[in-house]
Structure 1
Amino acid sequence: MPAFFTSSLAKTCRSENCEIVMKAIKPTEETSAVFSLGMTLLIVALMWSVSSWGYYALVDALALERGYDQAPMRVSGYYLMWSVVAAAAFWSVLSSRLTLSLVTGHIRMLLPALSIFGTYVAVILPLLPEVSVELAPPNPPEFMFASAWYYLPKSTDILFQQVLISAMVFSAARTKISLPAISLGMAVLFGGFHLLLALEGFTALYVIRFTIAASIFGLFVPYLYLRTRHGFRWAYGLHWSFYAVDATITHLMLGAPSWL
């Protein structure tokens, strides 16, 4: 209902019945929060889909087989751009958590962790057995045969995902939904997003593994954002570490035997 109409009605209506009518037609704070959450989920789904499509369009345009590994700077910039776009889109929800002092604090604390991660994938991971082409699944994911450069754009990809996750978590919290309910919802949503990997031709085992991991992460990430002091740091660090652990397990399980 137009604002000028409700304003005029409020001025001319003074009876008890009119007050009841005004309460009925005036949007409540809870209703507004629920609507905002619905819009957030819609925009997140749209950004997730469009960014994924855009990545493959970029890879095709550059005639690459593995975008993360072969064009790390361009793909890093691509997902960094999406991170900025997402932060701007959800500014009303995230602005209080994106102050200069908080952002610089996150950067200062995460740089040492990222340095450790970078050293691991650049120095330790190459010492493990190389993934065997014979043992690898058909249409393998990029990271199986990637160099350490793969993890540079992956870092900005994770940043983009965390912006989307935090927007969903904080929007849900505004509706007064309980933490267990938010956790369950995030497990379903974040796990569900990873089911879309099946549309990209990956094997069922790969899709199931990542979907389960994403669901478990989604179950715990609301607690990190809503109950810990620096939830973003914990969420980002855990998200990044999953890829390092998964790559390690992949090399150990699918590594070429020494006699090959």
Structure 2
Amino acid sequence: MIVAGLWLLSNQGYYSFVSGLGMGGGYDHEPVLFTAYYLSWAAAALWLFRPLIAAGLNRRTIAREGLVFLRILGGLALFVVYALPLLPKVSELRAPSEAPEFMFASAWYYLPKSAEILFRQTLVAALVLTAARAGYGLLAITIGMAVAFGGFHLLLMFEGFTPVYVTRFTPSATALGALLPYLYLKVQAGFRWAYSLHWGFYALNATLTHLILAAPPWA
């Protein structure tokens, strides 16, 4: 219930900001503000679940994982700064009438998106570890996370995403949700893998979108 509450409140807060302050561009319009926004939510989640997440970790482990995570973020930044601009621009004629924000976003969009994914994965880690501590087996947690992660992404239909994108995101989110318990419970340093896969989906989705909806060369 705490995880669901944090997830829903963060979503509602975001749309309240966008609507109340007239930020039609969302992340791309105020990247620093929304980066701070989601980092604050991540910090709150870490504080609430600190005994659970910190169990079995020591300062050396935390420092080592922090350095590795910074290198991962550096690699993702290289994709955004150097690879993404090389992709063809999305054609306004081919894009849906109410196009999702990421379709025409600049590299700045991915700064708050990275903070948002950090917050989401903190919640997922807390949920998986809580279920494991409660005695649920890996199969039960896997099924539960697949349903929960996929179900949350069905809400995209209320966020301006077209049925095509809801159809694309929901099965992918379900598959990722099914994989996350294994990463967190069975793989050493599973958080880095979970975060990288989650972020990588958005990178893949952006790449495919730019290629599929690009203006034809004869246009």
TM (norm. structure 2) is 0.95
Moved more, 185-194 or 51-60: 51-60
Aligned to 1:238: 197
Superposition map of 1:12-51 within 5 A? 42-51=1-10
Matched, 1:132 2:95: no
Structure 1 residue 55, shift from structure 2 partner: 0.6
Aligned to 1:90: 49
Greater relative contact order structure (CA < 8 Å, 6+ sep):
2
Contiguous gaps of at least 5 residues in structure 2: none
Aligned to 1:53: 12
**Amino acid of the residue matched to residue 132 of structure 2?**
A
- What SS does the corresponding residue of 1:131 show, helix, strand or coil? coil
Aligned to 2:25: 66
For the aligned residue pairs, the C-alpha RMSD in angstroms reads: 1.4
Question: Aligned pairs, how many?
Answer: 219
Aligned to 1:10: none
Moved more, 72-81 or 175-184: 175-184
Structure 1 residue 107, shift from structure 2 partner: 2.1
TM (norm. structure 1) is 0.80
- Choose the corresponding residue for 2:167, options 184, 208, 218: 208
Structure 1 residue 259, shift from structure 2 partner: 2.8
Structure 1 residue 109, shift from structure 2 partner: 0.6
Contiguous gaps of at least 5 residues in structure 1: 1-41
**Alpha-carbon distance between aligned partners in 1 of 2:97 and 2:152, rounded to the nearest angstrom:** 22
Structure 1 residue 237, shift from structure 2 partner: 1.0
Residues 43-78 of structure 1, C-alpha deviations (whole Å, 9 max, x = no match): 111111110010111122332112211111110000
**Alpha-carbon distance between aligned partners in 2 of 1:97 and 1:248, rounded to the nearest angstrom:** 38
Structure 1 residue 154, shift from structure 2 partner: 0.6
8 Å contact kept, 1:129–1:257: no
Aligned to 2:208: 249
Structure 1 residue 215, shift from structure 2 partner: 0.4
Matched, 1:180 2:139: yes
Distance 1:57 1:97, change over 3 A: farther
Structure 1 residue 118, shift from structure 2 partner: 1.1
Residues 119-159 of structure 1, C-alpha deviations (whole Å, 9 max, x = no match): 11211111111011111123221111001111111111000
Higher Rg of the two aligned structures: 1
- What SS does the corresponding residue of 1:143 show, helix, strand or coil? helix
Superposition map of 1:125-164 within 5 A? 125-164=84-123
**Amino acid of the residue matched to residue 143 of structure 1?**
F
Structure 1 residue 99, shift from structure 2 partner: 4.8
Aligned to 1:18: none
Identity %: 50
Aligned to 1:27: none
Aligned to 2:178: 219
- Choose the corresponding residue for 1:75, options 19, 23, 34: 34
**Alpha-carbon distance between aligned partners in 2 of 1:240 and 1:107, rounded to the nearest angstrom:** 17
**Alpha-carbon distance between aligned partners in 2 of 1:103 and 1:244, rounded to the nearest angstrom:** 27
**Amino acid of the residue matched to residue 39 of structure 2?**
L
Distance 1:186 1:258, change over 3 A: same
**Alpha-carbon distance between aligned partners in 2 of 1:211 and 1:178, rounded to the nearest angstrom:** 24
Distance 1:98 1:198, change over 3 A: farther
Matched, 1:121 2:80: yes
Structure 1 residue 117, shift from structure 2 partner: 1.5
Structure 1 residue 101, shift from structure 2 partner: 3.1
